[in-house]
Structure formats: C-alpha cells, structure tokens
C-alpha cells in the first residue's frame, strides 16, 4: 500500500501535529508576559492593559493584534514591510505572468522586429513635469476637500499669469521639498505616477498648464516641461505584454503548466514541520526544501494557512505542490533571462499602499497618533460597527498571516 506523503502517521496524533505547526509558523504566540505584575498584551511598542483584553477570546485578541500592526506600520512608515510576504507572492505571480507572455510570443512566432513595428504605432513617452498639490485624501470631509480644491484653483490662476510656475509651486504646494525643487519631478513613464496624474500629464503639450487634477492624494496643477519617446529596447517588455494579451494563448499556457505540474513528485512522508531543511518535492533538475514552503506560507490567504496548520493533509499537499510549481516556473523564467520590470513592481507596491491606507482610514489611524492613542483607536476599531470598518477587518484577517510576522506579540500567561 502506498503511503500518502502528508497524511499523519498513526504514531503521531493530529493534536501533536497541529501544535508543532502552530509553534513553527505563527508569530502570534501566547507567550508569558510580565509574570504577576501588571500583565498586558503588547504588539510591538503598543501595550494593552489586562482590563482592556481580559474578556476578549483568542480570536479577537489575534484580530486586535493585526489591527494594531496596521496602525504601527502607519505610525512608523513601514507599510511595505508590513506586507512583505504578500508582496513577495504577488511579485512572483507578476513574474510568472511575464513568463507566460514571453512563451506566448515564442509559440506564435512573434519576434522583436514585429514588436518594434507595433511599438512605432503606439510609442511610450517619458515626461518631465512640474506640479503643485494641495493634499486632501478622498476620505476626508467634503468641506476640507472643497477648500483644498479652491486653493488649487487659486494657484492655477496664478500660474496662468506671468509668474514662473516654480514660484507658484513654492508658494502653494504642500508636497515636501516642492519649494526647493520648484515642483519639478523626476522624469516619469507610465506606471511611475498614479493613473489620474499620468493621464493629465500625457494630455498636455510642452509648456502647457493643466486644469486642476484630482488624484487620491489631493488636487494638482501640472505643467509639462518636456516629453521624449522612450527607445524601443527600454519599452520592449511593455510592448511584449500588450501583444501577448492580444494573442491570447492562455489555453496553451495552462496545458503547459499542467504538464510541468505533473513532473512534480512529493518526496517526504509525514513532514511535521520540525525540520525546515528536508526536500519535500522534486522535479527534473530541481527540488523544493521545506523552508521555502514556510517562507511562502504567510503570503497566501489566511483560511488556507489555517487548514495547513491544522493538519489538513490535502491542503498541505496542495500548498507544497503549488509552491514547487511556482519555483519550477521561476527557474524557467530565470533561465530565459526574464525579469520583472520596475514599473510593475512599483505598481504592486502602490496597490498595497493604497489598500493599507484604506484600512487606516477605516480604523481611524494617522501617523501623528501617540502610542497610547493608537492602542485606544485599535480597541475601538475592533468592535466599532459600520460597513467600511467591517470590510477592513475582514480584509486584514485575510492577509493576517503576513501581518502576524510584522510585530512581536506578547500575552499574559493566563491567555
């Protein structure tokens, strides 16, 4: 009879296996606190008194820690570090999209000569822009938003006179360093700036001043200093992505990926998580050490992580096989010299920053909150009713395994 590689053996109870995984994979540990002297929960530098957490069940304590981690990341400007495991997984996925695109072009016989001809029809531009901004995020009250808009309109009227735009930016812009730079930004391409800003800049002629433009950051006025067509070799990856998208080819890609999946063999009977070094899967030309599964696990959705930790052997098999497949394909991308363009990685980071900003707004966090205020706001966000805060709590839970790693958590020994 063949043994299922990830079915717990009769000699090891499922209870023991779950405990081993929890200790290894969850940074949210119920550690001994401060003995009998004023026991409290701490999340990073934020402290909650025993009275504040006494009645909270473990599930709520974990959610409170995750909410607090969001507040601390905002407070300490560590938003990207907060989501490091999620961002790593999304970056992998984006790189595999690039592999799919390149293979589609190869299968369809599309070479760089064809791509360059396509590029000449719709070239990419590099823009140099001056701008000023009155900061006002979209969640702020309407009267504050309107006041910021009016100030931007006033600045635009001034810019349309003979006053140099650099001087107007120095007077009106709330962007840090705007006065010293006269509002001048570094050269930007599509993906460098948020979409609203980029589209407004692209629509301008050199020397032209834009209407007031609204973005997620506030209200801008732009002046286009110069535009330059990006050389094809620098734009080639973007063109390849566009052409591959027109060609389709997903069915062939999916069939090819399934063939690769079939090459993967799970190799370890009853891996209990104690040893992070054994090989847990192999394929022709490669193998998967266990620590890569552990490194990748916090980036996947929380329900799947929980099932993995609870000893669900089918979930373990799926996660390990998916991880092996990802590394197999990443090896293929590396062998082909495929890299993720900087603008795509920047876009992944921006999307995460926007998501964390939406959670922060729902929870009532701001960088200026003192740590005791952050604690009080976290407790309020844990129980406050309302659609936005409810959605934010659910979304935070979904990426909870990543947030659990961001800040150490201590609880009193009686929890």
Q: Is residue 216 domain-resident? A: yes
Token pair 């099932």 in the structure block, residue: 307
Q: What was the pLDDT predicted at 270? A: 56
Assess if residue 190 is contained within a domain: yes
What distance in Å separates the CA atoms of residue 62 and residue 183, rounded to the nearest whole number?
Answer: 44
| Residues 44, 72: Cα–Cα separation, whole Å | 8
Token pair in block for residue 289: 């050490």
Query: Distance (Å, rounded) from C-alpha 168 to C-alpha 154?
Result: 10
pLDDT at res. 269: 59
Instruction: Collapse the DSSP code of 62 into the 3-class scheme (helix H, G, I; strand E, B; otherwise coil) and give the result.
Output: helix
Q: What angle do CA 20, 22, 23 make, to 5 degrees?
A: 65
141 found inside a domain: yes
Instruction: Give the per-residue pLDDT at 141.
Output: 86
Residue identified by tokens 């800049």 is 201
Residue in this structure with the two tokens 């969640």, named with its chain if needed? 139
Do residues 415 and 61 lie in contact, with contact meaning Cβ atoms separated by under 8 Å? Answer: yes
Strand residues in 156-301 grouped as ranges (E): 213-215, 218-229, 265-266, 279-283, 286-289
What's the burial of 3, exposed, middle or buried (CB within 10 Å: 0-12/13-18/19+)? exposed
CA distances from 336 to 54, 100, 172, 329, 330 (A): 56, 12, 49, 11, 10
The answer to whether residue 334 is domain-embedded is: no
Query: Looking at residue 161, which CATH number applies to its domain?
Result: 3.10.50.40
Tell whether 47 is covered by a domain.
no
Domain holding 196, by residue range, is 125-229
Domain count, the chain: 1
Q: Is 319 a domain residue?
A: no
Sequential pLDDT tens for the chain (415 residues): 333 333 333 333 332 333 333 333 444 444 333 443 455 899 999 999 999 998 999 899 999 999 999 999 999 999 999 999 999 999 999 999 999 999 999 999 999 999 999 999 989 999 999 999 999 888 788 899 999 999 999 999 999 998 999 999 999 999 988 889 999 998 998 888 889 999 999 999 999 999 999 998 999 999 999 999 999 999 999 899 989 999 988 899 999 999 999 999 998 655 555 556 688 999 999 999 988 998 999 999 999 998 888 878 888 889 999 999 999 999 999 999 999 988 889 889 989 998 999 999 999 999 999 999 999 999 999 999 999 999 999 999 999 999 999 998 987 655 5
Q: Is 177 inside any structural domain?
A: yes
Kind of pairing, strands 125-135 and 46-49? unpaired
Q: Does residue 383 sit within a domain?
A: no
User: What is the Cα–Cα distance from 128 to 304, expressed in whole angstroms?
Assistant: 46
């Amino acid at each position: 009879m063949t043994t299922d590689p990830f079915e717990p053996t009769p000699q090891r109870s499922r209870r023991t296996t779950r405990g081993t995984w929890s200790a290894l994979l969850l940074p949210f540990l119920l550690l001994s606190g401060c003995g009998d002297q004023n026991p409290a929960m701490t999340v990073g530098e934020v402290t909650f008194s025993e009275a504040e957490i006494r009645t909270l069940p473990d599930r709520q304590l974990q959610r409170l820690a995750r909410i607090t981690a969001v507040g601390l990341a905002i407070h300490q400007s560590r938003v990207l570090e907060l989501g490091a495991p999620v961002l790593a997984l999304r970056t992998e996925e984006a790189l595999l999209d690039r592999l799919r695109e390149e293979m589609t072009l190869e299968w369809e016989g599309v070479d760089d000569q064809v791509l360059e001809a396509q590029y000449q029809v719709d070239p990419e531009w590099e823009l140099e822009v001056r701008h000023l901004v009155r900061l006002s995020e979209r969640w702020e009250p309407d009267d504050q938003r309107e006041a910021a808009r009016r100030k931007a309109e006033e600045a635009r009227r001034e810019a349309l006179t003979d006053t140099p735009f650099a001087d107007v930016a120095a007077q009106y812009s709330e962007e840090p360093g705007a006065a010293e730079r006269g509002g001048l930004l570094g050269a930007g391409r599509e993906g460098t700036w948020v979409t609203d800003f980029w589209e407004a800049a692209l629509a301008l002629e050199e020397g032209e001043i834009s209407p007031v433009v609204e973005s997620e950051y506030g209200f801008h006025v732009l002046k286009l200093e110069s535009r330059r067509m990006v050389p094809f070799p620098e734009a080639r990856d973007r063109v390849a992505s566009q052409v591959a998208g027109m060609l389709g080819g997903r069915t062939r890609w999916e069939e090819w990926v399934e063939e690769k999946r079939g090459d993967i063999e799970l190799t370890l009977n009853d891996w209990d998580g104690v040893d992070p070094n054994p090989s847990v899967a192999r394929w022709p030309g490669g193998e998967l050490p266990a620590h890569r599964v552990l490194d990748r696990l916090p980036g996947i959705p929380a329900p799947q992580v929980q099932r993995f930790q609870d000893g669900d052997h089918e979930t373990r098999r799926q996660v390990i096989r998916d991880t092996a497949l990802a590394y197999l394909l990443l090896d293929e991308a590396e062998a082909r010299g495929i890299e993720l363009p900087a603008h795509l990685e920047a876009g992944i980071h921006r999307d995460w920053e926007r998501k964390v900003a939406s959670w922060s707004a729902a929870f009532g966090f701001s960088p200026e909150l003192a740590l005791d205020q952050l604690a009080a706001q976290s407790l309020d966000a844990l129980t406050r009713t309302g659609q936005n805060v409810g959605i934010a709590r659910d979304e935070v839970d979904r990426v909870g395994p990543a947030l659990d790693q961001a800040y150490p958590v201590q609880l009193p020994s009686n929890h």
